Amino acid sequence: MAWVVLVVSGVLEAVWATALDKSQGLGRLVPSLVFFAGLGLSMTGLAYALRTVPVGTGYAVWVGIGAVLTAGYAMVFGGESATPVKLLLLAGIVGCVAGLKILH
């Protein structure tokens, strides 16, 4: 169960990071509310998962999921370039996160 919560918390990290960008420095109400809600839920889930998952592994998985999803969202919807090198590096993060799960 901790791993499921950790993955969901990683997804929520991407939500709050994207909402922070959309809030324009917390100047827009709805994205700011999404930011704070996503941040709270993401941190709560991470805290729960770290009861079972070692902190180094848990934090790396949480950050990795959040980073890849945030970058992917920015490439698809935000106009950020999706070069082959960027995609390869993001795939490397996914591979490393999967490896951490497998080794756990």
Span 56-70, pLDDT tens digits: 999 999 999 999 999
Give, for 47, the enclosing helix (H) or strand (E): helix 29-49
Under the banding of pLDDT at 50, 70 and 90, the label for residue 101 is: confident
CA–CA separation, 67 and 72 (whole Å) = 8
Token pair 């770290």 is at which residue? 50
Boundaries of domain holding 73: 2-103
How many domains are contained in the chain? 1
Distances (CA, A) of 72 to 25, 33, 42, 56, 84: 21, 22, 19, 24, 13
Span 11-30, pLDDT tens digits: 999 999 999 999 999 999 99
CA angle centred on 24, ends 76 and 64, rounded to 5°: 50
Under the banding of pLDDT at 50, 70 and 90, the label for residue 103 is: confident
